[in-house]
Chain A
Amino acid sequence: MLNRTVAPSRHDIQDIAFVQPDEVVFDNGLRVFIFRAPTQELIKAEFIFQNIFDGSENSLLHTCASHMLKEGTKTRTSTQIAEEIDFYGAYLMPEYSFDQTSLTLYSLNKHLSSVLPVVHDILNNATFPDAELETYIRNNKQTLQISLQKNEYLARRLFFKNLFGESRYGRIPTEDAYDRLNREDLIELYRKQVHPQNCTLILSGNITEDVLTQVRELFDIRWRNTSEASRIGSPIFPDFTPKTVVEERADALQSAIRLGMPTVNRVHPDFPAVQFVNTLFGGYFGSRLMRNIREEKGFTYSIGSAFASLQHTGFFTIATEVGVDSTGATLAEIEKEFDILRNTQATEQEIALVKNYILGSILGTIESIFSHADKFKAVYFYGLDLSYYTRYNEIIRNMTAADVQRIANTYFDYNNLLKIVVGKSSSNFF
């Protein structure tokens, strides 16, 4: 008779070996990393540029430049670019992040030779037409108006503003800032930033010799540096002072809560252990915050915490949206969870669970060759290599209750957080 109360026996989770890319440096300085998957029909070519901040910390300009890349070249209009890319079933996606701007092409192998020249044109001859810029500004201002009605967006905005001030990480879009965007600044940024020496190209998929030849013809021989190697420049952050910021919203049904502080990033030796403790605390569905605030109290649909790594700093954040009546109670429960994390040792069972969960989810993030490339990217720009993951797994496997407590007491302090509430607060908790 089958005994359903007993779990099947468990098997250890193996570490996964990440694919080591081939590296080629072109004559123009372009660094190329190649991840091969010979049976796949789809190719991803990712051109990644370090964001250049030369004196100005106006990151909105970078966001705009990245969106505007596809909006016209000396020989192609915005429409023509869109038509050519769409016709071949390809995707061309500019993406801006705090430290890098990228242009990513996805294409079926058979159409690559038709779409690569468009990418080449964009990286060499973008013109940032005024009419397209006007459209960008107009539409983004309208989208901003909508976003400003969302408590969650307001909370996020206040969070970054208070955490990073006037530095590139703290700049938030406003109508004025959109109005100040202009073509000259965009072209100047493009000249400084978009050239081979400031670019890393990651190719993944079925990268045959033929594909490489095509890439070399366009992006080595026919791509020249337009600028001396530019300084990326380090941002200066305001001194962090923990404080509470409340924005009352009369008709709110839910309050958006965002807590956090600046902290270490991926290059710090404690980072893997910090990730472990964060997972246990608020980093997955079974975390303490989720169990308490969603699964026991029912205050929210979701709550989570994260340690995010940036090039020049890192930050810790907790985010949730809760019924307005539960705002104070939620903050009190979060504070309680911090106290428990710092003062009471976790059980062996919980530690074992979090270990297995993390090891399994690393395995689970690998779906295709593209995932291998992503893993590489996540460490490469910090000056790390894939041995980071060996060390990471080693640390995760060896975590003890005492380690958790040490990390908790170093990096998890409720009294040292920036606390943002947008919605309604119950005043007795402040």
Chain B
Amino acid sequence: MINYQRFTLDNGLRVLVHEDHTTAMACVNILYDVGARDEFPDKTGFAHLFEHLMFGGSVNIPNYDTPLQEVGGENNAFTSNDITNYYITLPSANLETAFWLESDRMLSLAFSEQSLEVQRNVVCEEFKQRYLNQPYGDVWLRLRPLAYKEHPYRWATIGKELRHIEEATMEDVKAFFFKHYAPNNAVMVVAGDVTFDQVKLLAEKWFANIPARPKQERKLPREPKQLAPRREEVYADVPVNSIYIAFHGPGRIDPDYPVMDLLSDILSRGSSSRIYRALVKDKPLFSEVNAYVCGSIDPNLIVIEGKPLPHVDMAEAEKLLWNQLYILKSEMMKETELQKVKNKIESTMVFAELSILDRAMNLAFFEVLGDAGLYNQEVAKYLAVTPSDIQRVAQEIFMPENSSTLIYYAKEQEHAE
């Protein structure tokens, strides 16, 4: 349970305040309602590149990081397919520095050519480090366009290809900023050793005179219902075979989302989970297996993946994974097993509330989903799920015609030791 109060500035900026005076720190979290799904198909990777540019100086403050470090603060940011989230933690005595820095970069950036040039390179190196220079690093560069044909989830946050980033121009950057970075497209959460009145004063002082910008309604193409199984097989420079099966599932605020999330927990969360037990521990069939949901706002993917042991061929491996899904569809699960994954949800929520930053991020995210108050209803939604919900949703999701299967075959090769 997270307590908070809220107000909205005339320019549309929503501000949430969560007081916790057991800490000496404050945290300022600003979520911009823009992610990779808002990019043009021929300019992908932009929301993320843009996140890097937000640290390249703003209109009145040439350097973002230094003044913050000078007051003992730290910051970072992340971009997903749905949102871009920036956060600062700092000693609460210096809270105003965070308002000064964040308001200036919401007002306008410096748009420095040098910064664009360097960050293009940095992001290209990030692309290589995470996606290209790793065995299986390109899974999501392949799986997304296999599973999504119309919706912009068909490309990864990093972008479709290096070229899109290399070709980004200053003109693109400015257009992106003025389209998406606006007080009326953002949620600010201030948490920790702060008071509501103090935050209200500071918000009025630093943010109130940033003009609202025209907000376009988001009109993303709906992903059409998948009607036939999809499949991609690659022979790659990887040491062992690997399989990924992705299924379409409900979006984040759909009532069935918690059911799908629990489905993935039943399959693979913790060492007593079903597929871990059946395929890794009880019989030597896979070296690793995993199931998880993407957690996207729009209709999601739930993924089952595994690396079979050398003596298990791929057709057999695939059958073994499907067999576990058939069991979920055909047999009503026991209450105790469901209770187990619910108990884990409950303790995980307590964990997630240990840090003020996590609390702030959660409030901001749920506010973008519709209402920060939804956060406090989350556990109850999970606890209300029944075994028949599980079976029903398993039957809806785990259908061959709803699946996209990606298989990596290890190329025969000599390994230099």
Contacts and interface: CB of A to CB of B under 8 A. Distances in A.
Interface string B75-95: 000000000000001110110
Interface in B248-279: 269-273, 277
Interface string A59-91: 000000000001000000011001101111111
Contacts of A353: 66, 69-70
A403 interface: no
B346 A366 contact: no
Interface in A344-370: 352-354, 356-357, 359-361, 363-364, 366-368, 370
Interface string B1-31: 0000000000000000000000111000000
Interface string B356-386: 1000000000000000000000000000000
A253 interface: yes
B172 interface: no
B93 A11 contact: yes
Contacts of B350: 41-42, 108
B280 interface: yes
A132 B269 CA distance: 19
- Name which of B72, B73, B273 has the most chain A CB atoms within 10 A of its CB: B72
A296 B355 CA distance: 33
B70 A352 contact: yes
B97 A7 contact: yes
B118 A7 contact: no
B119 interface: yes
B146 interface: no
Contacts of B69: 284-286, 353-354, 356-357, 360
Interface stretch (A28-36, A258-266, A298-306): A298-306
A8 interface: yes
Contact of A108 (B237, B239, B309, B347): B347
A356 B116 CA distance: 29
B124 to A, nearest CB: 8
B126 A356 contact: no
A96 to B, nearest CB: 17
A148 B73 CA distance: 38
Given A5-B60, A10-B97, A254-B125, A364 B89 contact: yes
Interface string A147-185: 011110000000000000000000000000000000000
A361 B72 contact: yes
B287 A7 contact: no
B166 to A, nearest CB: 12
A352 B71 CA distance: 10
Interface stretch (A133-141, A235-243, A374-382, A383-391): A133-141
Interface in A12-68: 12-14, 16, 41-42
Contact of B126 (A7, A286, A301, A359): A301
A268 interface: no
Interface residues of B, number: 82
Nearest to B104: A4
Contacts, number: 216
B129 A321 contact: yes
A151 B94 CA distance: 42
Given A42-B350, A146-B239, A148-B239, A138 B309 contact: yes
B399 interface: no
A138 to B, nearest CB: 6
A254 B309 contact: no
B346 A4 contact: no
Nearest to A252: B133
Contacts of B309: 138, 142
A285 B94 CA distance: 20
A251 interface: yes
Nearest to B95: A8
B94 A363 contact: no
A149 B238 contact: yes
A285 B63 CA distance: 13
A253 B61 contact: no
A286 B128 contact: no
A222 to B, nearest CB: 26
B382 to A, nearest CB: 12
Given A142-B240, A253-B133, A294-B122, A86 B271 contact: yes
B354 A2 contact: no
Nearest to B288: A139
A3 to B, nearest CB: 8
Nearest to A88: B343
Nearest to A7: B67
A199 interface: no
A367 B354 contact: yes
Contact of B73 (A145, A146, A360): A360
A16 B125 contact: no
Contact of B72 (A89, A138, A363, A367): A363
A135 B280 contact: yes
B129 A299 contact: no
Contacts of A370: 354
B90 A86 contact: no
B272 A10 contact: no
Given A13-B72, A134-B284, A361-B72, A298 B122 contact: yes
B209 interface: yes
- Name which of B24, B119, B356 has the most chain A CB atoms within 10 A of its CB: B24
B336 A87 contact: yes
A360 B71 contact: yes
A300 B136 CA distance: 21
A2 B207 CA distance: 11
Contacts of B240: 142, 145-146
Contacts of B125: 254, 298-301, 321-323
A121 interface: no
Contacts of B348: 89
B72 A4 contact: no
Contact of A254 (B122, B133, B206, B336): B133
A409 to B, nearest CB: 25
A87 B343 contact: yes
Interface string B333-350: 000100110011111101
A253 B138 CA distance: 14
Contacts of B129: 254, 301, 321
A285 B334 CA distance: 50
Interface in A313-361: 321-323, 352-354, 356-357, 359-361
B284 A135 contact: yes
A13 B70 contact: no
A77 B238 CA distance: 35
B39 interface: no
Contacts of B143: none
18 contacts: A4-B100, A4-B104, A7-B67, A8-B99, A11-B93, A11-B94, A12-B93, A13-B93, A87-B272, A150-B135, A286-B69, A298-B122, A321-B133, A322-B125, A353-B69, A356-B69, A363-B72, A367-B23
Given A2-B205, A108-B346, 20 more contacts: A4-B61, A4-B103, A8-B94, A9-B96, A10-B70, A10-B94, A11-B71, A78-B281, A86-B270, A106-B347, A149-B134, A298-B119, A301-B130, A352-B70, A356-B69, A360-B69, A363-B72, A364-B72, A364-B90, A366-B25
